[in-house]
Amino acid sequence: MPFTIIYLCIFAYLIGSIPFGLIFAKIFNSLDLRESGSGNIGATNAARAGGWPLGLATLACDVLKGAVPVLIVSAVSCENETGLKEAWVALTAISAFFGHLFPVYLKFKTGGKGVATAAGCFAVISPLALVISLAAFIITTVFSNRVSAGSIAAAATLPISVFWVNQSPVIFGCALFISLAIIVRHKENIKRLLAGTEPTIRGD
């Protein structure tokens, strides 16, 4: 079983590394997301650069590449191994998440910020906690008119909601680790938010 889970973690990383936004933009819009808008390969920049259909397709696939590996590990790991199942699930989630941040197919560079992939992971791990974080995302995004602000709010809310819902130190640690990584990846957005120069969803 341990070797099986290790292979699944490697599989999760490789799946997480697939740059769907970059691929879709190249195929359907003949553009390189790394040279468009913010240069990010995630759904927000895909929508800005290539339109909402491209953004939604990227979002869906980025969510799935977090959800699918976690679903597989949840199915194959043993329920009666106290604590081990949660540990394997957490490691798989982190593997998929880091695949998106540091994709091997792009030489570990120009990865996304991980919000959608993290959402896919926690849609399986803790659906209620994810719903709470999504509520924070929607409220903050609507009032700030900025997706990045919503993403940061959702990331900050995730460990708290996971701690309240799951009451598991392992899953809480996973959520906290992923949350901090997302916030760090948004450091340039935070600077622009503080300066008032962050792009808005609707024109001001």
> What secondary structure does DSSP assign to 125-166, as a single string?
H-HHHHHHHHHHHHHHHHHHT-HHHHHHHHHHHHHHHHHHHH
Cα–Cα distance, 104 to 11 (Å, whole number): 12
What does the pLDDT average to over 77-94? Answer: 79
Contact 45, 38 (CB under 8 A): yes
C-alpha dist (Å) from residue 140 to 33, 136, 144, 153: 26, 6, 6, 7
How confident is residue 79, by pLDDT bands cut at 50, 70 and 90? low
pLDDT at 81: 57
pLDDT at 44: 87
What does the pLDDT average to over 70-84? Answer: 75
Q: Given a cut of 80, is residue 204 above it in pLDDT?
A: no
The tens digit of pLDDT for each residue in 138-187 reads 999 999 999 999 999 999 999 999 999 999 999 999 999 999 999 999 99
- pTM metric for this prediction: 0.92
- The size of the chain, in residues, is 204
- The residue ranking higher by pLDDT, 4 or 56, is 56
The tens digit of pLDDT for each residue in 94-136 reads 999 999 999 999 999 989 999 999 999 999 999 999 999 999 9
Tokens coding 162: 């996971």
Give the start-to-end residue ranges of the domains of the chain: 2-195
Q: Given a cut of 60, is residue 80 above it in pLDDT?
A: no
C-alpha dist (Å) from residue 200 to 35, 145, 148, 196: 20, 5, 9, 10
